[in-house]
Amino acid sequence: MVSVKDVSVLHDTCIRADSIVQDILDGSKVLKCTMQNIMIAELTAEVTCSTALVADATARVAGLEAEVVALTAGLPETAGALAVAQTQLQTALANLTLMEQRLSLARELNNEFIVFCKENVDKLDVYAECFSSVVNSLNVRVGHAVNTLESYLFDDSVRQDYIDFVRQKSQYFEYQKMLYAMNKTSIKDVENAYVEKLNAKKDAFIISKNANELGVKISRYNMPEFEASFETKIVISDFNKERYVHERIANKSLKEAIAANDSLKNKFDQRQIKQIENGITPDGYTWHHDGNPPPGRLQLVDTSLHNAVRHTGGYSLWCERE
């Protein structure tokens, strides 16, 4: 039997996988732009330098050729100078050839780099396409899992078996929480699912025998109704977090409340106020997860009374783990 937890894990995996695919595609685009721009800029500078050297060498060759012509037409004593000029001319011609080769090589490297970069980007795109195909298959599996889960959650025949019926209602509440996290349902739907869960399980809840004599009422859901000195709300997205996280949230809320409400602050002595200001649950009090609907209510109640009235805790109902 597929559970809400299974579907939720698969769904989260799909979201992460989709994100990875998008990152790969974005990376491919960046690679096409950034790497090419950086390397091609260097090669372009090389080409520019080589072109300038070739132009300079060409000018020098032209100058030397003109000088040779002038010396040839001159006097015999110019023969030595002519020989020097001819040597310089040959050197310049050799340098010109080297510069032309260097320019050709730079252009060739530029073209090879573009081809290399394109090949790597193409390989990355192919990988992204293959990975995307796997993600699509996973999404299909999630769809099948959801269909299987929904068939179970809305199967009226399950009511015939008490244990399975309780599990069905528990899973339905988890299912509504999951849909809420996906922005596919409302808080009201989550709260209604919680009531269905309570109605299915209430006969199995712990009921304190001395609740009445301690002045604590028991609700229609077989849950205690404590008188609270303060209460706050845990949002649905935080239901499954650890108890200490809930207490930290509640203590923060209490600290803010006493700073703005003198009548509330006056309920505590100086030691307790100091504890509250330091984010600590005040002595003599306990944070009670109220199991009565709607879910998420955290109450600051007297510790001795809380411990004296045995009950099924709301925490186990908000974040039932299977």
Q: What is the pLDDT of residues 102-151, one digit of tens each?
A: 767 766 776 777 677 677 777 777 877 887 887 788 788 878 888 888 88
Which has more pLDDT, 293 or 18? 293
* Token couple for 256: 């803010």
Q: What is the pLDDT of residues 243-269, one digit of tens each?
A: 999 999 999 999 999 999 999 999 999
Most confident of 47-51, 86-90, 153-157, 276-280: 276-280
Read off φ and ψ for residue 225, nearest 5 degrees: -115, 90
Q: Alpha-carbon distance 23 to 44, whole Å?
A: 30
Q: What is the mean pLDDT of residues 17-24?
A: 77
Q: Is 258 exposed, middle or buried (0-12, 13-18, 19+ CB in 10 A)?
A: buried
CATH (residue range 4-142): 1.10.287.2610
Three-state DSSP at 282 gives coil
The DSSP bridge partners found for residue 231 are 299
Q: What is the pLDDT of residues 174-204, one digit of tens each?
A: 999 999 999 999 999 999 999 999 999 999 9
Q: Per the omega criterion (within 30 degrees of 0), is the bond before 224 cis?
A: no
pLDDT of the residue at 249:
98
State the sign of the Cα–Cα–Cα–Cα dihedral 266, 272, 277, 279.
Answer: negative
